[in-house]
Amino acid sequence: MRTQVAIVGGGPAGLLLSHLLHLQGVDSVVLERRSRDYVEQRVRAGVLEQGTVDLLRDCGLGERMQREGEVHEGVFVQFDQERVHIPFAELTGRSITVYGQKQVVRDLNERRSADGGQVLFEVDDVAVHDITTDRPSVTFTHEGRARTLEADFVAGCDGFHGVCRDAIPAEVRRVYERVYPFGWLGILAEVAPSTDELIYANNSRGFALHSMRSSTISRFYLQCAPDEPIENWPDRRIWDELATRLGTPGWELREGPIFDKSVTPMRSFVAEPLRHGRLFLAGDSAHIVPPTGAKGLNLAVADVDRLAEAITDHYRTGSETGLDEYSAACLRRVWRVQHFSWWMTSLTHRFEGPDQEFDRRLQQSQFDYLRSSQAAATTLAENYVGLPLR
């Protein structure tokens, strides 16, 4: 097999990169380890930055998002039982859209199918070769047959546990990581949201988040141990804990059937550089952020937007400038987003240990500052709605 860009990973990063390249007349083949149904049903992020929304709309992927997505012009931040509103639109002129990642992936798969895009699902034994030459390749097994895909470039969009990052030699790769001492218990419930905008709550019992997926489906998160067994959280305990951590005077939490539960450990992770030879990393293969800032999917979109432009420019003009600048340009955004996600996590979560009372007083001080300072609220708002893609 031969293509211009071999894309390893058929999640949102890989599929969007393939679509953006297609719009510019650049051929690609996407290789995905999981089935299409699995990829489309994975429960992941649900908050899109303004720049992500604009890009998806401008490249023809916005019809269902604009019809079904919910535009939010602010967010609530809560400390114990006191809640403050951060008005995004008023402070920045921008907003966010609540639209699940699995909906984004479904939209991308439907569009790639309609455009005749080559997306191969359920591939095994993927390996990347000769990335420092002008003829890199990817070997894999598909439908019981060993295959080789030759390309001009390889895009590693295969996530944190993929093979592409490890194809960069250890002597030229540097990893930065922080593992947090807690995780998130995430649930989906068949119940109308109890709020019109997201609530981030810092309670003495731990963090809680009230989000939503639609007018009839609510999404909740609770801080828990990173290795917490799901069996420790029967439905009644979940609702009681959410009511305690999210509770404020005069506000009532609606309850309904819970149909999905999962525990997600939390980490911050960056691998540098994002390029080695003809291999380019994008999305979770290069960086992971704690979900507190809702940045994972949006950061992947920013990566592939820049990568698609650099590859297109190479084919149109022969220029290597965009390719040469790709890693450094992406990393500037990555580290800004890492800082914001760490800051949001530090503001909203309970930390155990000998300094926990000191930490909590610092959190109280930061909350008071957000409540009283427009400058502080604006800083949160402009980072949450997302800095411009360029």
CA-based nearest residue to 264, from 207, 218, 337: 207
180 is catalytic: no
What is the domain-level CATH number for residue 369?
Answer: 3.30.9.10
Q: For residue 193, is pLDDT > 90?
A: yes
- Of 193, 210, 291, 349, the active-site residue reads 291
128 and 191 both lie in a single domain: no
> Could you tell me which residue, 248 or 100, shows the higher pLDDT?
248
User: What would the mean pLDDT of 210-235 be, rounded to a whole number?
Assistant: 95
pLDDT, residue 223, reads: 98
| Contacting residues for 302 by C-beta, under 8 A, at least 6 apart | 51, 330, 333, 389
- Of 99, 200, 221, 326, the active-site residue reads 200
191 and 248 both lie in a single domain: yes
Share of the chain above pLDDT 90, in %: 96
65 part of a folded domain: no
291 is catalytic: yes
Q: pLDDT class for 211, splitting at 50, 70, 90? A: very high
91 part of a folded domain: no
Range of the domain at 124: 5-46+100-173+273-345
70 part of a folded domain: no
pLDDT digits (tens, 9 = 90+) for 122-175: 999 999 999 999 999 999 999 999 999 999 999 999 999 999 999 999 999 999
What is the domain-level CATH number for residue 323?
Answer: 3.50.50.60
200 is catalytic: yes
pLDDT, residue 42, reads: 83
221 part of a folded domain: yes
**102: amino acid identity, one letter:** K
pLDDT, residue 153, reads: 98
106 and 163 both lie in a single domain: yes
369 is catalytic: no
333 and 377 both lie in a single domain: no
169 and 278 both lie in a single domain: yes
Q: For residue 35, is pLDDT > 80?
A: yes
256 and 116 both lie in a single domain: no
Q: pLDDT class for 289, splitting at 50, 70, 90? A: very high
Tell me what the pLDDT averaged over the chain comes to: 96
Give the three-state DSSP class for 325: helix
pLDDT digits (tens, 9 = 90+) for 296-305: 999 999 999 9
| Long-range CB contacts for residues 339-343, cutoff 8 Å, separation at least 24 | 340/293, 340/295, 340/383, 340/384, 341/268, 341/289, 341/290, 341/291, 341/292, 341/293, 341/295, 342/178, 342/268, 342/290
188: left (phi over 0), alpha (psi -120 to 50) or beta: beta
188 part of a folded domain: yes
40 and 106 both lie in a single domain: yes
If one counts the domains in the chain, the total is 2
120 and 236 both lie in a single domain: no
- Of 22, 276, 295, 349, the active-site residue reads 295
The reported pTM is: 0.96
203 and 120 both lie in a single domain: no
Matching residue, tokens 């007083």: 361
37 and 123 both lie in a single domain: yes
Share of the chain above pLDDT 70, in %: 100
- Of 22, 72, 102, 210, the active-site residue reads 72
79 part of a folded domain: no
24 and 162 both lie in a single domain: yes
338 part of a folded domain: yes
149 and 297 both lie in a single domain: yes
68 part of a folded domain: no
Q: What is the spatial distance between Cα 107 and Cα 287, in angstroms, rounded to a whole number? A: 24
384 is catalytic: yes
pLDDT, residue 390, reads: 76
